[in-house]
A and B are shown apart, each in its own frame.
Chain A
Amino acid sequence: MMRGGGHTGGLPEIFALVVAVLLPPVLQATGQDYYIGFATRVLIFALAATSLNFVVGSGGMVSFGHAAFFGGGAYVVAFLMQAGIVSGWLAWPLAALAAAVAGTAIGALSLRTHGVYFIMITLAFAQMVYYSIVSLQVAGGDDGLSLAQRSALAPFDLADDATLYWVTLAVLAACLGLLRRLERAPFGRVLAGLRDNELRMAALGYPVERIKLVCFVAGAAVAGLAGALLVNQNGMASPAQLYWTQSGMLLVMAILGGVGQRYGAIVGASVLLGLEEMLGQWSEYPHLLIGLILLGVALWVPHGLAGLGQRRS
């Protein structure tokens, strides 16, 4: 399967970016300020789901423990804030770094297994992270950690919702560009080869496990960064962000949009969170309907929503 062309960004992409940049003033002008926060949330989950999409789609590793890195990043920022480190320039990279370190340990152990066992062991490690953090008094236990203020990211004033939105958008765009470059670099071609035939790549002399580990760790680091953004957006790091259902949600976003589709995770995150928001307003049981919609997608749209508009190859 050919993926992506050689171009760096088509007209639709530029158009989407312009719309995204202009969103906050439009929302403010129409008195819908509330939705700036919501849009930020969508972008953050899009980033986290994109990082998972990279691991699952490009790396061929179905990780069911991504919440450990996503929620873990949130906890790192909240924890540093309590320790007096307010600067986002310091705390955010540290969140990504911590997620990368955790990802190295978890990935190195998990990559000894394959298939369903890989799914299960990543899930188990994420649950370990969850239980460890929940039972730690310094991490706030079941209550989590709330943030006294948003990270200081001079010259940007994150206390302003629109600024946080733009910063999030910039981070998302940068990470997308980075991941795309990675996919087109020799490293990405090797990954694609691994997806097709791992044995053959091993026979050709590629260090299979190490390459997959690098992919897993890169995904974890980006998820950690997304977690740093999340804690700034909603003001607290909570155990629910680490629980396995959060990993499931991220995976659902990636699959819903289309695994391996470049913008699949963004589509998935927008649709899922959008449905939650919309249905939550007029029904007490939004997940009943969302679940039914997801079932429909699973049965009839196997390549995800982002795959719908594409030509069949």
Chain B
Amino acid sequence: MTQLVVEQLLNGLQFGLMLFLIASGLTLVFGIMDMINLAHGSLYMGGAYLGAAAAQASGSFVIGLIAAALGMAALGALLEVLLLRKLYRRDPLIQVLATFALILVSNDLVRLIWGPQPLQLDPPTALAGPFELFGLSYPAYRLLIIAVGLALALALYALVGHTRIGMRVRAGAANRSMAEALGVNVRWLFTGLFALGAALAAVAGTLLGPLLAVEVGMGENILILAFVVIVIGGIGSMRGALVGSLLVGCVDTLGRALLPSLLRIVSPPEVAAHLGPALASVTIYLLMAAVLFWRPQGLFPARV
């Protein structure tokens, strides 16, 4: 039982860290640029496809990962300059329309380029087996995801919390017009931020590729989870995104793994088999509703 719980906790941590890579970009765009970007999931999908294609072509997972990050950063910057820049300060409804349109375009574009079949993405062969950890055997590849996720989270924390650029980012999130008045060049800051967010989403997409399917529509599922994360954490707050991600990752993973068996203890197996999955898949939404009920601005409001 402990083995199961520890394993699921590690899975939760791993999923949470990947969610953080997606949610951090989203929360910055949301909090600083005041922009609803429904197409963030498409960046994640695009990254996964780029990564899988590059890994297949080169035979190296690492090259795939780097290609995905760089490729999506470039694409993200281009998208920001050509399109999204025109949408800041517009009616949120227009942002919804435009970014929803981007989802439609990118889904069909991916289908056009790579076909309707899911792409195969293998984890690096060196990490195919399990890894012994304190007498517990855990897939080595998942450990790598945790390591990369932690490293990126730390780097991002240092960037936002302890550098001059990060100071400007935080200033922009707290009060954009004041930051502009004080001479922050928000224009290029936004482009850079958007590219960074796209690269992080692409890394998450590629890393999760071997575990989940690289397919059209993968972005739509993860996007909603990322939204839940930033709403729980507080829009625009990096710390909130991190706490929210880990919370959602662990609650979702543990819920799916343990709720059905817990239900089996308290109710007949027939009921548990039906109710378990339903309950497990809505736990994070219940969590979000509860957070919003008691803290309508999220756990760590960025604006006061």
Contacts from A to B (Cβ < 8 Å): 56, 62, 64, 109, 112-117, 119-121, 123-125, 127-128, 131-132, 134-137, 243-245, 248, 251-252, 255-256, 259, 285-288, 290-295, 297-299, 302
B93 lies within 8 A of A116 (CB): no
Near A by CB (< 8 A), chain B positions 245-299 give 274, 277-278, 281-282, 285-286, 288-289, 292-293, 296-298
A288 proximity list for chain B (CB < 8 A): 104-105, 108-109, 112
What is the predominant secondary structure among interface residues of chain A facing chain B? helix
Near A by CB (< 8 A), chain B positions 81-138 give 83, 86-87, 90-94, 96-98, 100-105, 107-109, 111-112
Given contacts A123-B224, A136-B274, A294 and B101 within 8 Å (CB-CB): yes
A131 proximity list for chain B (CB < 8 A): 278, 281-282, 285
A119 lies within 8 A of B112 (CB): no
A295 lies within 8 A of B296 (CB): no
B288 proximity list for chain A (CB < 8 A): 121, 124
Closest to A136 in B: B278
* Chain A CB within 8 A of B30 CB: yes
A124 proximity list for chain B (CB < 8 A): 224, 227-228, 231, 285, 288-289
A120 lies within 8 A of B227 (CB): yes
Compute how far the CA of A271 lies from the CA of B227 in the bound complex, rounded to whole angstroms.
Answer: 30
A298 lies within 8 A of B281 (CB): no
Total number of B residues with any Cβ neighbor in A under 8 Å: 45
B97 proximity list for chain A (CB < 8 A): 251-252, 255-256, 294, 297-298
B278 lies within 8 A of A109 (CB): no
Given contacts A128-B285, A287-B104, A119 and B98 within 8 Å (CB-CB): no
Closest to B102 in A: A291
Given contacts A127-B285, A290-B104, A298 and B98 within 8 Å (CB-CB): yes
Q: How near does chain A come to B289, taking the closest CB pair, in angstroms? A: 6
Closest to B101 in A: A294
* Chain A CB within 8 A of B235 CB: yes
Near A by CB (< 8 A), chain B positions 155-186 give none
- From B36, B98, B231, B289, give the contact of A299 (CB < 8 A): B98
Compute how far the CA of A134 lies from the CA of B101 in the bound complex, rounded to whole angstroms.
Answer: 26
* Chain A CB within 8 A of B7 CB: no
Q: How near does chain A come to B13, taking the closest CB pair, in angstroms? A: 23
B98 lies within 8 A of A287 (CB): no
Compute how far the CA of A217 lies from the CA of B111 in the bound complex, rounded to whole angstroms.
Answer: 39
Given contacts A116-B30, A136-B274, A299-B98, A62 and B92 within 8 Å (CB-CB): yes
Q: How near does chain A come to B98, taking the closest CB pair, in angstroms? A: 4
A125 lies within 8 A of B289 (CB): yes
A295 proximity list for chain B (CB < 8 A): 83, 98, 101-102, 105
The residue among A121, A123, A245 with the most chain B CB atoms within 10 A of its own CB is: A121
Closest to B282 in A: A128
B235 lies within 8 A of A116 (CB): yes
Q: Give the top 10 A-B pairs by smallest Cβ distance, nearest first.
A: A291-B105, A291-B104, A294-B101, A298-B98, A288-B108, A135-B278, A131-B281, A287-B104, A285-B108, A128-B285
